[in-house]
């Protein structure tokens, strides 16, 4: 069984825990996922079954969307409610709504962001959270991310919190964004709640809970090539299919192509991913999907 599933990860489970459940439901050993979610977070987790796991690297997962609740007046070492408190204000003046909105808008665009110390970022070959748990003092390097849009959904001074939606690039940490928003407003802040609503073309509205997956099973499966919509299609002549499956390059000098990746087909049959060399005018197979 090869394909992709849009899983709704519940809070309290790691992404790896979800994979273990999917393995049991589908009785499949080869299962992978794209875009790790923190255990406390919920939302969209694209999961690949069988040979589809070989296509994860080609998926269009650069863009993601989240719904987040930010709480002011308290900060922790993890940037969320599960860490050790590092700062707490018994009383403070909650920022006016128009000031909050302006601050959110100020983050739209390309920004420099430092991921949390308790994150999956690798430093010297080790995960930052593993080093932090050992008590090793580390400084996670700043990196460039992009915020495409932010919208305030709820303004709640009584709860000391705001609820907002954010569209962002791959690699953006919403915990860091919450802390940075607080810093710009002169207040400690943390992420109280996080829901991922989109990963590329995987949307929350189409996601299956683990309980639903156990019932519908194969009905939830998307064809392996369905998630590769952003890669242009290339039609291979039937006489060249065997060569493609065998890992041999094929030539078609009558069809002008741009350099790069292509979804390769013979009619309606998906053959795999090819890379076209414009100088040589040849299509080289990168990932072939011969019939089982």
Region 3-61+201-226: CATH code:
3.30.2350.10
**Would you name the residues annotated as active-site residues?**
38
Higher pLDDT, 126 or 141: 141
What is the fold of 64-199? Answer: Pseudouridine synthase (3.30.2350)
233-288: same fold as 64-199?
A: no
Region 233-288: CATH code:
2.30.130.10
Q: Which of 72, 74, 64 is nearest to 41 (CA)?
A: 64
- 114 pLDDT higher than 80: yes
Any idea which of 1-15, 28-42, 119-133, 155-169 has the lowest mean pLDDT? 119-133
Domain regions of the chain by residue span: 3-61+201-226, 64-199, 233-288
Task: Write the burial class of residue 116 (CB in 10 Å: 0-12 exposed, 13-18 middle, 19+ buried).
Answer: buried
236-259 residue pLDDT tens: 889 899 999 999 988 766 666 889
Q: What is the pTM of this model?
A: 0.88
Which of the four pLDDT bands, split at 50, 70 and 90, describes residue 61? low
Which one-letter DSSP state was computed for residue 6?
E
Tell me the C-alpha distance between 223 and 212, whole Å: 19
């Amino acid at each position: 069984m090869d394909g992709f599933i849009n899983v709704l990860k519940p809070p309290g489970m790691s992404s790896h825990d979800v994979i273990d459940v999917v393995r049991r439901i589908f009785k499949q050993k080869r299962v992978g996922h794209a875009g790790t979610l923190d255990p406390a977070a919920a939302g969209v987790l694209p999961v690949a079954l069988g040979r589809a796991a070989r296509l994860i690297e080609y998926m269009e997962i650069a863009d993601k969307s989240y719904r987040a609740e930010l709480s002011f007046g308290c900060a922790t070492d993890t940037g969320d409610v599960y860490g050790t408190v590092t700062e707490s204000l018994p009383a403070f003046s909650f920022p006016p709504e128009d000031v909050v909105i302006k601050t959110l808008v100020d983050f739209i665009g390309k920004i420099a962001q430092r991921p949390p110390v308790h994150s999956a970022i690798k430093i010297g070959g080790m995960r930052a959270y593993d080093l932090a748990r050992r008590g090793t003092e580390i400084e996670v390097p700043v990196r460039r991310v992009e915020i495409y849009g932010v919208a305030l959904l709820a303004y709640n001074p009584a709860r000391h919190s705001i609820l907002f939606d954010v569209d962002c690039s791959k690699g953006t940490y919403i915990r860091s964004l919450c802390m940075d928003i607080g810093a710009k407003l002169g207040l400690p802040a943390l992420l109280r709640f996080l829901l991922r609503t989109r990963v590329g073309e995987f949307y929350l509205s189409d996601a299956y809970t683990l309980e639903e997956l156990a019932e519908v099973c194969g009905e939830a499966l998307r064809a392996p090539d369905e998630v590769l919509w952003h890669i242009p299609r290339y039609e291979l002549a039937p006489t060249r299919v065997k060569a493609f499956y065998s890992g041999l390059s094929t030539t078609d000098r009558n069809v002008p192509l741009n350099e790069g990746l292509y979804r390769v087909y013979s009619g309606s049959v998906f053959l795999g991913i090819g890379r076209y060399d414009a100088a040589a005018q040849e299509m080289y197979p990168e990932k072939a999907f011969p019939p089982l």
